[in-house]
Structure 1
Amino acid sequence: MKNLLVSTLIFALFASSSHACTTIIVGKAASADGSIIVGRNVDAPNAADWASNFVYHPPGEGGYVVQSVLENQFSYQMPLHVLGYSGFPQPNTGDLSFEEAGFNDAGVGISATETIFSNARTLAVDPYNKKTGVVEEIIPSVVLPQIRSAREGVKLLGKLIETYGSGEGFGVAFVDKDEAWYLENAGGHQWLAARIPDNAYFVSANQSRLGEADLSDSDHFLSSPNLVRFAEENGLFDPQSSSSFSFRKVFGKDEAGDADYNYSRVGYLQGKYTSGLSNKKYESNSFPTFVKPDRKISIADVRDSLRSYNAGTENDPYSGKNSNVQVRPISVYRAYQSHIMQVRSHFPEQIANVQYLDLGMTALGIYVPFYQGATIPDSYRHASIAIDSNSAAWKYRKVQLLAMQDFQRYEPMVRSTYDRLEQEILVRQRKFEEDYKVMVGNNPRQAQALLDEFTRQNVNDAFAASSELEKKIMNDMSIQVYRKYRFRGA
């Protein structure tokens, strides 16, 4: 009965609102080390506290059914043989709900999904299939076990949208060793996907971001059949009054509230990476889609971007100086997971793909690297819905909750501790990779042991640092309470 009540509560919260996220994708010629980078903050819809588990599903016999248990009644029969893959499911959901991101055994990655919204005109002629359509909850669980390239992932998800309809609006990133793609849906059955140019980056914040597309160029664009003709026939696009077809202008929702909620994040990121776009004001969703950075973008750049909260400006909501901030920052407390996926074609297969994982609020969190071939520690695999003392999800959340009671006072302590450890891990990581390259060809078993030990040490150090922060903040809070409620006498 308890599990039933918990599941009912989760369903009610997720069904009432979609996720709100921020996505960054960097092409391999635009990154500092030639890797393709996909980063995203995963923000819970209503609740501040959500746990997630990091799991690996082994390859083998398929034939099972993936069923949406939180959002609607979507159901899908998997093929008889499936690839192994990783994901971040919600606890107590059978490990197939809101898996969000991961790599499969073919080295293909997904980050799903960035919530977006179609406009009323589109939904009037092609409404969402809310009852049984494809929803954010199940996309990685259905798609990752079946695909061997990013392009194949785009086509499979596109076919699902066309066949089952979409239950809501979403954007999904796909990545492999050669390229990254981004797909957006529109209404019930339309979609467009674009290949991220190698020399550019792409950012998204809860709004359709794909613009003009040459649908005759299948090397760089894929879409639902007759996308433009559908728009014309239903009065969504008039080629006589517009010289070009823009996906987001035709199908996307763009309202006054988007300025503070979405424009601010896209504008900040584009201004951070490309100085010519800094402080540029937009009155509509007319941001450039793909942009070349002034300098090559590193993992550290993406990490710092996903931690942004407009520090030092009038739109900083956490400093305490302005209690009426309306502009939504990138880092929010209700985030329960952030991932940065790095794909490197010039590394051995076992360590080519890395996920830097931050559980909880990024401004007060730490990114820990997990190579695709690493054994996942128990603390990252066994979080519960209820607050516990052993899981990574709740270990980091406790620090974040305490620090948010006085952000100005405790953020410097948290940030300096985690930043120092991240640098230590980076130094350790460089040595590990060199040692692994030498070892893997001659002794794969010893190389695996080295990889697992590297992972365990990082997790143990992050736990130790978090435990120490928890003690320090609670001790300081205790002193503050004592001073506030100190009375005369013994």
Structure 2
Amino acid sequence: MKRIFAAIFAFVASAQLSLACTTIIVGKKATVDGSILVARNDDGPGITAVNFLYHPPRRDGYTLRSVMKNKFSYEMPSHLMGYTGSPRGSGSAYDESGFNDAGVGVSATETIVSNARTLSVDPYVKETGIVEEVIPTIILSQAKSAREGVELLGALVESHGSAEGFGVAFVDSNEAWYLENAGGHQWLAMKIPDDSYFVSANQSRLGEFDPDDHNILSSPNLVGFAQTHGLYDRGTDGPFSFRRAFGRDNEIDVRYNYPRVAQLQKWFTANAADQSVTANGFPTFRRPDHPVAVTDVQRALQDYFAGTPSDPYTSGNPAATARPISVYRTYQSHVLQTRKGLPEGIANVEYLDLGMTALGIYLPFYQGAAIPESYRGVTGDSDDSSAFWQFRKVQLLAMQDFPHLAPIVRSRYDALALAIADKQLQFEKDYARVAKTDRVEADRMRDRFTRGNVDAALAVSRELVNTLVTQLSLRTNQLYRFPGS
């Protein structure tokens, strides 16, 4: 019997570990500056280390294969665009987020799960279906608009099948889209309304829709498929809802996913605090009470229920079972921002935070800017030179005594973030002025700005490591004081 329970526990634990990420998307009429925001915490095993790279354009096509998940393969065409990504290693596996040379951004993926009924009639194509590992590579190499990216991924789901459940965000200067798959070959994508925001936390969130709406894309005969296979009955189920028909919704979701959706909607819409957090009635889209800034999204992704009994880090409460938004196993968090009315060289920005967001700092990387060496060549072994491991050391040390050490980390990183934001305003004015007559010099300014921010963040991180080690040394000495010493 003990072995049975152990096996069940191991299965549930591994299933929950694979359920990772939290997504926020904000339309252009819901932000303070008319920009579009696509953001996600990328969660995985705590040892996962990532690079931040620019993959240059490729003239010739090649065969793209999954190297970590299954036997998926896809023939990439010729004349592929360059793009940025945050892969695990020096290749392109799990690129996760970035912009391509056409200004299209992708965030992939949010792990979701189809319900058992769906998988019984259209199972995942586990051996050869498309997986998260390759999605950014395929889309960013080819898509010249967000909508084109949706259509490309949807066609791949239909032709190759899906090996797993996922949600994917697409953005360009005009619009943002979100696609969810279901089973092996079904999918639905919705354009984010300009005046609204969307949040997701490891569960299908797309609901009711009008199939004739230009802002909806899907696999053929989606509703008919659900009806044919007993996943939807118009007479008893009412209006068709994608997530009700295809998505998993059980006790795991109540504990693991509902709290994050509820918390994020409370961040932007005050009356969302009144909604039930034990029923899956969360609206697909909501309007924020106030225009949303990049920093609002960053703070939401840093949330861990601070100041409530559900805060697992400060309270140490063993009954705090709700899964927080910010977890230690986050290895990369990003906010993709697209803006109109600015020079091409500063229109698109990826704000990147390596590691646990509650103990990290978002740094701006403009599309096209040279990426500092410290963001490349990262491995799974800790080192003294990479940005990832410098930030990770701060987070690891602070987690040893979160209530006392986290405020020290937050104070230093928040002060630096404010200083960078002030410099950023002036930098963009200077860039726009110089770019009118000398784009090359303007781009050099952009590279210097980027490098300066990274250097400052690493310097603060090194100082924090020393500060935290000193504090922990003092506490350790107090803890192990023996009589007579």
In structure 2, the partner of 1:135 is 131
Distance in 1 between residues matched to 2:439 and 2:15, nearest whole Å: 46
Report percent identity of matched pairs.
Answer: 56
Counterparts of 1:203-242 in structure 2 under 5 Å?
203-217=199-213, 219-242=214-237
Tell me how far apart the structure 2 counterparts of residues 33 and 370 of structure 1 sit (CA, whole Å).
18
Match of 2:256 among 257, 261, 284: 261
2-structure distance, mates of 1:72, 1:244: 37
Distance 1:15 1:289 in 2: 25
Answer whether contact 1:14 1:70 (CA < 8 A) is retained: no
Structure 1 residue 62: deviation in Å? 3.1
Q: CA deviation at 1:58?
A: 1.0
CA distance in 2 between counterparts of 1:96 and 1:14 reads 25
Match of 2:479 in 1: 484
Preserved CA contact (<8 Å) 1:110 1:173: yes
- The DSSP-based 3-state class of the residue aligned with 1:363 is helix
Distance 2:165 2:469 in 1: 42
> Partner residue of 1:296?
291
- For 2:415 and 2:283, locate their aligned partners in 1 and report how far apart those are by CA, in whole Å: 36
1:353-379 C-alpha deviation (Å, 9 max, x unpaired): 001100000000000000001000000
Residue identity in the other structure for 1:352: A
Give the corresponding residue for 1:63: 61
Partner of 2:467: 472
Q: Counterparts in 2 of 1:15-34, with a 5 A limit?
A: 18-34=18-34
Aligned to 2:369: 374
Report the counterpart of residue 3 of structure 1 in structure 2. none
Q: Residues 281-360 of structure 1 correspond to what in structure 2 (within 5 A)? A: 281-360=276-355
For residue 158 of structure 1, report the CA deviation from its aligned partner: 0.2
Q: TM-score, normalised by structure 1?
A: 0.94
Contact 2:88–2:94 under 8 Å retained in 1:
yes
Match of 1:463 in 2: 458
60-69 or 292-301, larger mean C-alpha shift: 60-69
> 2:151 corresponds to which residue?
155
Residue identity in the other structure for 1:75: S
**Could you tell me how far 1:240 is from its partner in structure 2?**
2.1
Residue 383 of structure 2 corresponds to residue 385 of structure 1: no
Residue identity in the other structure for 2:186: Q
| 3-state SS, counterpart of residue 346 of structure 1 | coil
Is 1:412 aligned to 2:407, yes or no?
yes
CA distance in 2, matches of 1:413, 1:180: 37
Aligned to 1:272: 267
Q: Tell me, yes or no, if the aligned pair for 2:52 and 2:371 is still in contact at 8 Å.
A: yes
What SS class does the counterpart of residue 292 from structure 2 fall into? coil
After the TM superposition, which of the residue ranges 450-459 and 255-264 deviates more from structure 2?
A: 255-264
Describe the SS at the equivalent of 1:438: helix
Q: Is the 8 A contact 1:134 1:160 kept in 2?
A: yes
CA distance in 1, matches of 2:484, 2:171: 67
Q: Which runs of 5+ in 2 are unaligned?
A: 1-12
CA–CA distance in structure 2, aligned partners of residues 345 and 62 of structure 1: 32
| Cα distance in 2 for residues equivalent to 1:272 and 1:396 | 26
Q: Corresponding residue for 1:83?
A: 81
Spell out, residue by residue over 1:56-106, the C-alpha distance to the aligned partner (whole angstroms, 9 max, x if none): 011131312211111111111100110111101001xx5121100010000
CA apart distance, 1:19:
4.6
Q: Is the 8 A contact 2:108 2:168 kept in 1?
A: yes
How many residue pairs get matched?
Answer: 473
Question: In 2, Cα distance between the equivalents of 1:96 and 1:328?
Answer: 30
Q: CA deviation at 1:16?
A: 10
Give the partner amino acid of 2:31.
S
User: Match of 2:354, as an amino acid?
Assistant: L
SS where residue 29 of structure 2 aligns?
Answer: coil
For residue 229 of structure 2, what is the amino acid of its counterpart? Answer: N
SS of the counterpart of 1:60? Answer: coil
Contact 2:118 2:183 in 1 (8 A): yes
Alpha-carbon separation, structure 2, partners of 1:418 and 1:210: 36
Q: Write the distance in 2 (CA, Å) between the matches of 1:474 and 1:368.
A: 25
Q: Is the 8 A contact 1:267 1:279 kept in 2?
A: no
